[in-house]
């Protein structure tokens, strides 16, 4: 069978890698696992190839992170042998160090190079730092097929200069049945829980979720019958905004109503099962060029969001913003409000999930869930690999 090597730098995640578990009857799949990888991928049923990176030789913590940013990262021991054995290498994005590492290795080893692209903002060279611009050039030149996760990402690639014949949209997939099976707990929840998963960074908008909760608890926004709602907010994730989010909840009088912390990915179906709604307040993030070595740029907006598909499979009501690719992913499902509209979030929750008994499920179109299933993703992926290996279009 053809050998596929998945390359994700230090960003290998269980929800991403598990999509390849549906391919073993058609492809031999492995992935590079660095010592500095940021997620626990021990439960992933794929061959893990341990590799060294430049980051591994530097001190742990922020000092090492800064040094890596300045020096640039790269694969070392173990990667060359893995590249040599691969027929297809599958990396991601235009300007990640590991995507460029694979692009350089392609010239020596001759594998086919595929890139998943989540990024929806076409920054080209102008709105990238010098190092990122160089990486982008290497990736664009060497990649055989780009696989954007959304139509929005596809359009961005066209503006980046990628020929249309080298693009194939490939929406990700999840284990729909696993999330659906956990959608109804044996004992219905006694109170409403709103779950807000995501990295604890400003652009994920958890601060707006806390503000929406405050409006509900204080009765500033009420249920349709005029009574207040006092749900619990469960923020799932880790990141640099942890302390500020906790402080914001405390100063709004919500210390007991908000919990913040990481949850293993395998436990997420149970989290959704005990919730009444998913709330995601994504907003674009930008920098304004505050020093002479930076450039002003908007560098992130919501791209795909596995949590939307997981929530639909679990039958959760969804309230989210219109940021980035969210409307495309939901395809008319859920309730959308403008980014930053915490008042609209509170009103949508009060009119929807919180007006029904805790844990009430919502039905989503079966064909939409099938489109986002891991089986459908595997078919799309296999077709793409066959395309690059045979040279067909």
Domain ranges of the chain: 3-173+373-390, 176-368
Q: For 351-366, how does the pLDDT look when each residue is reduced to its tens digit (9 = 90+)?
A: 999 999 999 999 999 9
d(CA 72, CA 89): 21
Question: Which of 218, 216, 254 has its CA nearest to residue 235?
Answer: 254
C-alpha–C-alpha distance, residues 391 and 381, integer Å: 15
Q: Who's near 294: CB < 8 A, 6+ residues apart?
A: 129, 287
CATH topology (fold) of 176-368: Rossmann fold (3.40.50)
Residues 6+ apart with CB under 8 A from 323: 282, 283, 284, 301, 302, 339
> Which strand (E) or helix (H) includes residue 280?
strand 277-280
What pLDDT sits at residue 351? 97
Residue 377 CA to residue 90 CA, distance in Å, equals 15
The phi, psi pair for 333, rounded to 5°, reads -90, 160
Contact 12, 33 (CB under 8 A): yes
Using alpha carbons, select from 143, 73, 69, 48 the residue that is nearest to residue 105: 143
Nearest in space to 380 (alpha carbons), one of 1, 93, 23: 23
Region of residue 360 (phi > 0: left; psi between -120 and 50: alpha; otherwise: beta)? beta
- Closest among 38, 43, 39 to 21, alpha carbons compared: 43
Parts of the chain with a pLDDT under 50: none
The DSSP secondary-structure symbol of 115 reads: E
How far is CA 274 from its chain centroid? 22
Give yes or no on whether 3-173+373-390 and 176-368 have one common fold. yes
- Alpha carbon distance 4, 161 (integer Å): 26
Rounded Cα distance, 381 and 393, in Å: 14
Query: How far out from the chain centre does Cα 282 lie?
Result: 12
pLDDT digits (tens, 9 = 90+) for 72-115: 889 998 999 999 999 999 999 999 999 999 999 999 999 999 99
Phi, psi (degrees; rounded to nearest 5) at 389: -75, -30
Instruction: Look at the alpha carbons of 274, 322, 296, 13 in this order and tell me if their dihedral is positive or negative.
Output: positive
pLDDT at 297 (0 to 100): 63
User: Domain 3-173+373-390 class?
Assistant: alpha beta
């Amino acid at each position: 069978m053809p050998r596929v090597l998945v390359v994700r730098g230090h960003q290998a995640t269980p929800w991403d890698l598990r999509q390849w578990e549906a391919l073993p009857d058609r492809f031999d799949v492995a992935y590079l696992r660095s010592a500095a990888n940021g997620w626990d991928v021990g439960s992933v049923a794929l061959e893990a190839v341990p590799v060294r990176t430049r980051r591994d030789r530097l001190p742990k913590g922020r000092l090492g992170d800064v040094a890596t940013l300045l020096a640039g990262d790269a694969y070392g021991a173990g990667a060359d042998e893995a590249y040599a054995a691969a027929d297809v290498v599958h990396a991601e994005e235009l300007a990640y160090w590991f995507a460029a590492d694979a692009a350089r290795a392609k010239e020596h080893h001759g594998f086919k190079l595929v890139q998943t692209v989540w990024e929806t903002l076409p920054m080209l060279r102008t709105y990238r730092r010098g190092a990122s611009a160089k990486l982008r050039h290497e990736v664009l030149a060497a990649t055989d097929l780009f696989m954007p996760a959304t139509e929005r990402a596809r359009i961005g690639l066209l503006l980046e200069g990628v020929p249309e014949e080298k693009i194939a949209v490939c929406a990700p997939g999840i284990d729909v049945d696993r999330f659906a099976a956990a959608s109804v707990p044996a004992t219905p929840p006694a109170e409403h829980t709103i779950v807000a998963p995501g990295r604890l960074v400003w652009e994920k908008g958890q601060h707006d979720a806390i503000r929406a909760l405050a409006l509900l608890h204080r009765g500033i926004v009420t249920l349709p019958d005029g009574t207040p709602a006092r749900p619990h907010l469960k923020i799932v994730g880790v990141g640099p905004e942890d302390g500020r989010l906790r402080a914001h909840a405390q100063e709004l009088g919500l210390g007991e109503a908000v919990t913040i912390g990481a949850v293993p990915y395998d436990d997420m179906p149970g989290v959704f099962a005990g919730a009444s709604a998913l709330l995601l307040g994504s907003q674009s993030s930008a920098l304004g060029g505050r020093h002479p070595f930076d450039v002003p740029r908007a560098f992130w907006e919501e791209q795909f969001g596995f949590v939307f598909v997981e929530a639909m499979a679990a039958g959760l009501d969804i309230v989210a913003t219109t940021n980035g690719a969210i409307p495309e992913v939901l395809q008319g499902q859920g309730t959308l409000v403008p980014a930053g509209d915490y008042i609209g979030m509170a009103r949508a929750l009060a009119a929807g999930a919180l007006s029904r008994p805790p844990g009430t499920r919502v039905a989503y179109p079966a064909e939409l869930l099938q489109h986002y299933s891991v089986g459908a993703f595997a078919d799309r992926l296999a077709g793409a690999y066959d395309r690059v290996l045979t040279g067909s279009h």
